[in-house]
Structure 1
Amino acid sequence: MEFRYLGNSGLKISEITYGNWLTHGSQVENEVAAQCVQAALDEGISTFDTADVYANTAAETVLGEALKGERRESLEIFTKVYWPTGPGGKNDTGLSRKHIMESINGSLTRLQTDYVDLYQAHRFDTETPLEETMQAFADVVRQGKALYIGVSEWTADQIRAGVELARDLNVQLISSQPQYSMLWRVIEDEVVPTCSELGVSQIVWSPIAQGVLTGKYLPGQPLPEGSRATDEKGGADFIKRFLRDDVLTRVQQLKPIADDAGLTLAQLAVAWVLQNDNVASALVGASRPEQVSENVKAAGVKLDADAMAAIDDVLGETVERDPGKTAENAPRTRVV
């Protein structure tokens, strides 16, 4: 396993972060989830990412139990706040001081830890003053409940405003967690340059495009049984944008590039996002322990310029690059 600094900080995290969105507390049994976490630890992964909203808090509980007994100082545990949790009451969502303060306490209890290494705003809250949000995050840090703060799916302008307020409050906003893959490159034109300037790193989710870049979805063929595309608990909603025949056909054409690099298509996809200097880590989930072992082989891989150019040539116009997609996909009002 290779390690990289997270933003302009002294914190090092593993190039592959184990994430439990859509799996723990939902798609897989707790025993299998624990096996996946153990596989991650065995492969040298030290960084684990979750959120209070995943399986309505159950994912945090499963992760906390799976990591119990591990040396806390050797781990980096990340979680997030924004989306509705609990019964979904009027203050059970957003980035108000009330919701942040209550949420961090709940997360720490479920994760069985005194602090998280990174506490992230899961989305931008248009209905709470940013000053209130950042002051609450700063207080969470000063209370020792989080070491650093980050954001997820914020626009470049929102990140800049957040970093400026964080600096005024003498706390470190060091990360952004956006969707990023060969097929979804909307952060490249605005978010990445802004973050590079400000000393903020990317921890990217869905580097395999919800599984599409594994090559298991074939053009004109039925969806594989038990795959994410058939998961009615939420997985199918996220993957459908990529399940077009033109995309699936081009993904199949990536196989010779992966073969030349000695990689599977999934490993090629993870290695590709790690070529970006502003990316500190790629988030990878798993429903089986062996998936973890396969994905970590992308750590430390260097793709040459010819391979990177060949990938661009194959994918062509199927790549989504519009930076406006970040704001377009963000909630305009709080979801309750």
Structure 2
Amino acid sequence: MRCAPRLSVVIVRPRPHWIHLLFVRRGSLLPRILSQQLFVLLLSCAVVLAHGQLFHVKVTLTSAPFSLMGVALAIFLGFRINASYDRYWEARKFWGVVLVEARNLSRHALTLTRGDVDARPFVLGLIAFAGTMRNQLRGRPRDEGLDGLLPDEVLARVRTARFAPALVLLWLGQWVRDRREAGCLSPMLAQHMEGSLDALSAALGGCERIANTPLPFTYTVILHRSSYTYCMLLPFGLVDTTGWMTPLVVGFVSYTFFALEALSDEIEEPFGTMTNDLALDAIVASIDASLRELLGDTPPPAPQPDGDFVLN
């Protein structure tokens, strides 16, 4: 019996219980920032043991400057998170356009063409467009997952194309033109379908813009330096007031700053394969299943949410 595919790269899973959220590791970014956390905790313990002295010189810091610095750092960190999430959500909306327009084009080709037009190659070509778009954005081989979706001559060109999704769109446009010239497609409907193809091209271009235009590197440098400097100086400002609780407080503050910085860096490039990036494999699988159902085929099993979300 054929098993449902599982996604092993990005997280696709139901929201766990609140208790499990306290201990879940995958997607929490803890493995990525663990070394920084350990360094700050060890530094805090050393500061407590030395009573805030550095080379026998008392570092006279209070919590007041850290309150001011913390507010400024939080504002800058919030800006970085918002900028990264805007890129992530915009990319997700572009993929939503791909799903909607692919369904519209499939429905038009299957129901509004005249004569004995076989619209199956056109619908499969729309699935191929989604697959090549994912492959290009993730740097995969252009023909990965395209078996049986395109004519052999088109597939041969796709394998060597630099912009494979645009090539697939060209072939889809030629299919519409040929049916219009053969009288199987009314000029008005052909023009409407061309508008949907233009929307697919715009979605592709928008995703390419996001992928090829990262946030200015200076943002990352300033935030990284500020976060680390703040967290390494914080034990000296707390040791006289919090004593042995200093490592605990510093650990919590540093986890918040380091995790948010890592998260903003991760979702800045939403087409990657990190755990919090867009689940492009699941999106393409959804498009595949949706269009195959329109063709009357039995769609492949839906990707299953990760079942090992408890303490993983």
**TM-score band, normalised by shorter chain:** under 0.3
Larger-gyration structure (1/2): 2
Per the normalisation by structure 2, the TM-score is 0.23
More strand as a share of residues: 1
Please identify which structure carries the higher helix content: 2
TM-score by length of 1: 0.22
Q: RCO greater where, 1 or 2, for CA within 8 Å and sep 6 or more?
A: 2
